[in-house]
Amino acid sequence: MKGGGRGKEPPVAGEITGKRPKRKCLQWHPLLSKKALDFSEEEEEEDEEELEKQPLLCGQDQGPQVQCGSTTEEVEEDSNEQRARRPMNAFLLFCKRHRSLVRQEHPRLDNRGATKILADWWAVLEPKEKQKYTDMAKEYKDAFMKANPGYKWCPTTSKPVKSPSCQPVSNPRKKVWSFSSNSAKDSTTAKKVPKTDSMPQLNFAMADPTKMGGLSMLLLAGEHALTNREIPSSTKPSLPDTASEGNSYPGDEEELMSGTIPSRAPDITESRVKSALSPPAEMSSSGAPEGKPCRQSALFQLAEMCLASEAGKMDSVVSQPEDSFSSASLKQPAVKPEIKEEKGDTDDCPLSTHTSAPSLLLSSSSSTSTDAIAPQPSSQNARVKTKSKKKEMAKSNDEDEFPCSAKKLIKKCDHAESNVDSVFSTIEAVAKGTWKETEEKPKKKTQSSPSGGNSGVPRKKSKPKVKTLVRDKEEEMEESREQCGQSSSSETEVKEAMTDVSTKTEAEETSIGSTEIQGSMAEPPHSPCSPSPSKLKEEDKARERMSEGTCESNAETRGSRKSERSCKGALYKTLVSEGMLTSLRANIDRGKRGAFRASDHDANWSDDSWTISQMGPNNPKKLKKSKSKDESTQGLGKLEEEFERKFNSLPQYSPMTFDKKGTTVTKKKKSDSSNVQEEVSKAVKGSSPSQKKTSFHKIVRKHKHKKEKPEAVDKVVQSDSSVLDSVSKAKSCAPVAIMCPDMQGPTSMEMLVGSQKRKARKTKITHLVRTADGSVSPAEEEKSRDLTQEQDMKPLPPQNLCNEEGCYSNPRAEEAERSTAPPELPAFFSLAALAEVAAMENVHRGQRGLAESKKKELGQTPVLISCADQ
């Protein structure tokens, strides 16, 4: 999508038929064409530029554009056409993922050849494995569609013509993932958005309605669920954050560890860095008019973080409906600040609960920073938090209003909601300030990120001191809180913090009656990071974290005061750590993504699970590619990151495996019992066989039309195709019949696996044609040669799975999967195999992914069994 697409785009300008329309716009506008080029270089810029361009393009037409916007679909289509690339299908994902491998194996092979091989691999790929890609593709598509409601795969050629004017309109939304509907309205917003991430931006613009701060398309996709959910806001934001947060906490670390942390960590860090970088960029770029939207996005994230943390607090302290939070959070950014100001009571300042939240965040961020894994993200958070704090604390001048108001609000309204709102407002204000600050003060960032917790403390102190006396108290409070949070992060820091905190807290108590609240607030700080977790598991984790943090930092030093809570936390913590945590881990391990996916598609996108899975030790190349892409797509941001994560999480299969399979396939040709079985199984699985048939027939037809020897073709079909026949039978008949025949009689044909099916697009079928003898045309021969060579070249047996293992983040899952359905094994399972599978299933029942896969397999099994029996 990214690089390639862009690369294509330029050509697009000149393009051809269907696409042309959209490209027309691009072509139309010289800028667009440039943009397309630029695209490859800088995604963010691209997006922005595109957005700008679009308006430019449409510029005059804006009015019409709007109209067009009304006709979202068309517009979207157009816009989509321009930018949005249709989501990749499973095969493409597979290709993308494995092409590098193929190339490695066969350096001289060009992409075509590689594609052929990939096709073969794909054909050989077990359904289970395919399913992974299929699921991914589906999710990807779903997310894409959600992001781009009106998106149409095939641009209506006619449309483009009709609405050149409209096209411009559409442009705004399109960008990468064209977001149809809303974008039209807010070209400006859309523009803004684009900067950070094309996807996210779009989301923001579009999704923003919620103001959720759509981190990414994916997130948007997940919005539905989230919105419905009680804690939607928290969940969404949490997703991205969760990773970072997770890092900070031991539990998360463990999980990470279980997952392929090493591989993942780098990626995450990079992504985070990117994301971190992007926001400021947005701010700067968006800076002016539309800066808010952008800010909001970034801010939103922060806010979400804060909210999440606070929500957690709220939950702990006050049991108010989370929904209120979410709603409040959503709305607040724009409106509430003012309200707060109105409400503003000076008294509240001491409470500084809001401030505490940020501080908490900071602490959490610092803690995260301490973790090697997620320094960057944490750094961002830290920045923001620090900024927020600063704003609140130091900046009272400019933005004091908000923080104060927030505080005031809190006082006025004891309700969590009000607090949340106030927090939100404060956050926003802070964020604004922070953004500026960030731009202005890179140093702090650097400091904060590297120093982590430590840096945070000094900062706050310095700033707070500057502020007024009253505020100083608050600041102290905050500081203490922060320290506490930090303490959680590091023991040493904790000790200090404890001392400080204890003193401070006491002072607070005396000064303020709301000590309890504060305490509760203070505790939450740890949670802030954690709260985000979209899923229960995450929540649990967050709780754990909370408890842990309290226990460690507070319990030890403060123990006396917060004894109850600390105790609770300790208990909970222990429980969680022992039981829950394991469960969490198990989930992670087992599920990789499978389990998660099963649960929620939408959520899945954001889920850590994706990240968790197999980043990579196995395939540096792939990662590299993805990374490189990432670079190109940097702008895309989280969405893409997630996508990439997921994509990376997709299992890569070592060539060895395929070679084996391939060999098996080849064997098939000769004598195919087992191989045929595989194929058959494949055929049974899905429509694929039918498609193949159709395609094959098509090809045949084509050949006939175009040329040469219809008879030969037919013959070929027949000769080859006992398989085809079997397939057709399979379709018509029960699978069993299919299986049986295969079992019994080796079909001479290979299934037309892969490459041979479709082959030539209209024009070039010749190479496909087989001679009457069944011998393959030169091209095919080459192909077959390659396959055979490859097979020969590579020692099949040794490590088919090794790579896979590498690929799999979770050894357990891998093992289980392997045991159950090793890729090597043909789809067809012996009874013994089935029995094993069943056993596995029972054993792992907890694990969804496996279970599902097994089930699938089992589903097939009956037929197989019958065959086997026979």
Partner DNA sequence: TCGAATGAAAC
Partner DNA sequence: GTTTCATTCGA
Query: Could you say which residues in the range 670-689 bind DNA, by CB under 7 A?
Result: 687-688
Of 260, 262, 529, 521, residue with least CA distance to 369: 529
Q: What letter would DSSP give residue 180? A: -
Q: How far is the CB of 712 from DNA (least distance, A)?
A: 18
- In the bound state with DNA, the residue whose beta carbon lies nearer, of 97 and 313, is 97
Q: What gap in Å lies between CA 126 and CA 675, rounded to an integer?
A: 11
Using CB under 7 A, pick the residue from 397, 560, 564, 761 that binds DNA: 761
Stretch that binds DNA, among 444-452, 476-484, 501-509, 754-762 (CB under 7 A): 754-762
Q: Which residues does 32 contact at the CB level (< 8 Å), separation at least 6?
A: 25, 26, 50, 53, 54, 57, 82, 171
- In the bound state with DNA, the residue whose beta carbon lies nearer, of 71 and 363, is 71
By the rule CB under 7 A, 128 interacts with DNA = no
| Residues 50 and 190: beta-carbon distance below 8 Å | no
- In the bound state with DNA, the residue whose beta carbon lies nearer, of 377 and 651, is 651
Using CB under 7 A, pick the residue from 25, 32, 51, 123 that binds DNA: 123
Q: What gap in Å lies between CA 602 and CA 616, rounded to an integer?
A: 24
- In the bound state with DNA, the residue whose beta carbon lies nearer, of 332 and 666, is 666
Using CB under 7 A, pick the residue from 27, 134, 673, 719 that binds DNA: 134
Residues that bind DNA (rule: CB under 7 A) add up to a total of 72
Q: How far is the CB of 276 from DNA (least distance, A)?
A: 24
- What angle, rounded to 10 degrees, do the helices at 536-549 and 515-529 form? 130
Using CB under 7 A, pick the residue from 564, 732, 763, 869 that binds DNA: 763
| Residues 593 and 642: beta-carbon distance below 8 Å | no
> φ, ψ for residue 618 (rounded to 5)?
-60, -55
Scan residues 791-850 and list those touching DNA (CB under 7 A): none
Of 617, 616, 608, 613, residue with least CA distance to 592: 613
One-character DSSP codes across 279-332:
HHHHHHHHTTTTHHHHHHHHHHHHHHHHHHHHHHHHHHS----HHHHHHHHHHH
Using CB under 7 A, pick the residue from 234, 285, 366, 756 that binds DNA: 756
Using CB under 7 A, pick the residue from 155, 375, 822, 849 that binds DNA: 155
By the rule CB under 7 A, 770 interacts with DNA = no
Scan residues 623-662 and list those touching DNA (CB under 7 A): 625, 629
Stretch that binds DNA, among 308-316, 468-476, 762-770, 857-865 (CB under 7 A): 762-770
Q: How far is the CB of 633 from DNA (least distance, A)?
A: 10
Q: How far is the CB of 764 from DNA (least distance, A)?
A: 4
The interface mask with DNA, positions 700-739, x = CB under 7 A, is: -x--------------------------------------
- In the bound state with DNA, the residue whose beta carbon lies nearer, of 67 and 695, is 695
Stretch that binds DNA, among 3-11, 40-48, 362-370, 485-493 (CB under 7 A): 3-11
Question: Helices marked H in 650-774 — which ranges?
Answer: 655-670, 673-685, 688-706, 710-720, 722-732, 735-744, 755-758
Q: What gap in Å lies between CA 221 and CA 855, rounded to an integer?
A: 28
Cα distance between the two ends of the chain? 49
- In the bound state with DNA, the residue whose beta carbon lies nearer, of 123 and 522, is 123
Using CB under 7 A, pick the residue from 41, 60, 63, 112 that binds DNA: 112
Q: Which residues does 94 contact at the CB level (< 8 Å), separation at least 6?
A: 118, 121, 122, 125, 130, 133, 650
By the rule CB under 7 A, 141 interacts with DNA = yes
By the rule CB under 7 A, 161 interacts with DNA = no
Residues in a beta bridge with 770: 776
Using CB under 7 A, pick the residue from 41, 110, 440, 792 that binds DNA: 110
- In the bound state with DNA, the residue whose beta carbon lies nearer, of 95 and 256, is 95
Stretch that binds DNA, among 46-54, 437-445, 760-768, 818-826 (CB under 7 A): 760-768
Q: How far is the CB of 553 from DNA (least distance, A)?
A: 45
- In the bound state with DNA, the residue whose beta carbon lies nearer, of 778 and 811, is 778
- In the bound state with DNA, the residue whose beta carbon lies nearer, of 514 and 648, is 648
- Greatest extent of the chain over all pairs of C-alpha atoms, in Å: 98
Scan residues 47-106 and list those touching DNA (CB under 7 A): 81, 85-86, 88-92, 95-96, 99-100, 103
- For the four alpha carbons of 852, 855, 860 and 861, in that order, the dihedral sign comes to positive
Q: How far is the CB of 151 from DNA (least distance, A)?
A: 8
- In the bound state with DNA, the residue whose beta carbon lies nearer, of 341 and 640, is 640
Geometric angle at alpha carbon 411, from 428 and 556, rounded to 5°: 85
Stretch that binds DNA, among 64-72, 115-123, 339-347, 820-828 (CB under 7 A): 115-123
Using CB under 7 A, pick the residue from 764, 781, 785, 843 that binds DNA: 764
> Given the structure tokens 């977001």, which residue do they identify?
179
Stretch that binds DNA, among 252-260, 356-364, 758-766, 799-807 (CB under 7 A): 758-766
By the rule CB under 7 A, 18 interacts with DNA = yes
By the rule CB under 7 A, 760 interacts with DNA = yes
- In the bound state with DNA, the residue whose beta carbon lies nearer, of 89 and 728, is 89
| Residues 233 and 532: beta-carbon distance below 8 Å | no
- SS3 at position 599: helix
Question: Helices marked H in 29-126 — which ranges?
Answer: 30-41, 43-59, 62-70, 72-82, 90-105, 111-124
- In the bound state with DNA, the residue whose beta carbon lies nearer, of 174 and 390, is 174
- In the bound state with DNA, the residue whose beta carbon lies nearer, of 51 and 123, is 123
Using CB under 7 A, pick the residue from 34, 415, 441, 698 that binds DNA: 698
By the rule CB under 7 A, 174 interacts with DNA = no
Q: How far is the CB of 227 from DNA (least distance, A)?
A: 24
By the rule CB under 7 A, 7 interacts with DNA = yes
Q: Is 145 exposed, middle or buried (0-12, 13-18, 19+ CB in 10 A)?
A: middle
Q: What gap in Å lies between CA 610 and CA 605, rounded to an integer?
A: 7
| Residues 177 and 144: beta-carbon distance below 8 Å | yes
Of 51, 39, 47, residue with least CA distance to 8: 39
Q: What gap in Å lies between CA 526 and CA 524, rounded to an integer?
A: 5
Using CB under 7 A, pick the residue from 26, 137, 169, 712 that binds DNA: 137
Q: Which tokens sit at 556?
A: 């030890």
Helix (H) or strand (E) holding 644: helix 638-649
Query: How many Cβ atoms are within 10 Å of 576's Cβ, its own excluded?
Result: 24
By the rule CB under 7 A, 124 interacts with DNA = no
